[in-house]
């Protein structure tokens, strides 16, 4: 009888759930379905701004939501071919969302600490460049955020590189942009009032997931 009860208790201990965090790679946010005509807006940081060359500094920012705490490993945006294929760095700015438009200064978005390495890859068909900041390790609590990934390169000659906007209804608020040629906090919508879309972005990373754990010290104590 003692052995039978001990075995039953052992099974109960093994079946009890002790939750711990384990990483499971997932897509955390996905607005990567592109509009059919591949329309969009410039999203780049040139070394300087010039009316003659057209070089400028414009950052787009997409709003995203996470139901749970996350660890971001990859941020991807989708742009048309141009000078972005040769870009090696971008500004990655992530900040809590507190309203329909960001309030951060252009100097905050364009801080040197926000520079990350990027990998531009031409997708099949050659009309779209996937620009990825990989191997990140950014932990965030659940909530709403602005995410901006802006490659560093010159505007070049037509056809220019621009950030393609996503198809479908706007999720939360449309994508705003800031022109950072001067220090300012003036975020505006880059397209006219009749067309204020979300711009393309995909975020990948990990979520905490429950795992089964056995307390072997408790199991052992049953047989003593």
Domains of the chain, by residue range, sit at 27-210
| Structure confidence at residue 180 as a pLDDT band (50, 70, 90) | very high
Counting every residue written for the chain, the total comes to 224
Distance, in Å, from the CA atom of 58 to the CA atom of 21, rounded to the nearest integer, reads: 39
pLDDT in tens, 91-116: 999 999 999 999 999 999 999 999 99
Angle made by CA atoms 47, 50, 55, in degrees to the nearest 5? 55
pLDDT of residue 208: 82
Over residues 123-151, mean pLDDT: 98
Average pLDDT over residues 69-81: 98
pLDDT higher than 90, residue 221: no
Start-to-end Cα distance in the chain: 15
Q: 4-13 long-range contacts, Cβ below 8 Å, gap at least 24?
A: 6/222, 6/223, 9/222, 10/219, 10/222, 13/214, 13/215, 13/218, 13/219, 13/222
Kindly list the strands in the beta sheet with 62-66, ordered across the sheet, starting from the edge strand earlier in the chain: 62-66, 143-151, 89-96, 115-117
Residue 38 has pLDDT above 70, yes or no: yes
- pTM of this prediction exceeds 0.95: no
CB 209 within 8 A of CB 196: no
CA angle 181, 34, 180 (to 5 degrees): 5
Query: Do residues 61 and 179 lie in contact, with contact meaning Cβ atoms separated by under 8 Å?
Result: no
**Residue 91 parent element (H or E):** strand 89-96
Residue 192 binned pLDDT confidence (cut-offs 50, 70, 90)? confident
């Amino acid at each position: 009888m003692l052995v039978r009860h001990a075995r039953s208790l052992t099974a109960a201990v093994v079946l009890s759930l002790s939750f711990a965090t384990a990483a499971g790679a997932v897509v955390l946010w996905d607005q990567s379905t592109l509009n059919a005509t591949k329309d969009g807006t410039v999203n780049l940081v040139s070394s300087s701004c010039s009316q003659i060359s057209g070089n400028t500094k414009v950052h787009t920012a997409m709003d995203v939501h996470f139901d749970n705490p996350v660890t971001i490993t990859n941020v991807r945006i989708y742009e048309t071919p141009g000078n972005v294929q040769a870009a090696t760095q971008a500004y990655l700015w992530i900040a809590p969302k507190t309203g329909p438009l960001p309030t951060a200064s252009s100097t905050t978005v364009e801080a040197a600490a926000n520079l990350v390495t990027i990998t531009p890859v031409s997708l099949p068909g050659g009309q779209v460049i996937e620009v990825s900041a990989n191997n990140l390790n950014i932990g965030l609590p659940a909530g709403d955020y602005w995410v901006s990934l802006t490659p560093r390169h010159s505007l070049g000659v037509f056809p220019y590189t621009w950030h393609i906007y996503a198809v479908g209804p706007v999720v939360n608020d449309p994508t705003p942009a800031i022109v950072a040629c001067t220090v300012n906090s003036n975020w505006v919508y880059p397209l006219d009032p009749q067309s204020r879309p979300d711009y393309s972005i995909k975020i990948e990373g990990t979520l905490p997931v429950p795992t089964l754990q056995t307390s072997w010290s408790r199991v052992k104590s049953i047989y003593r």
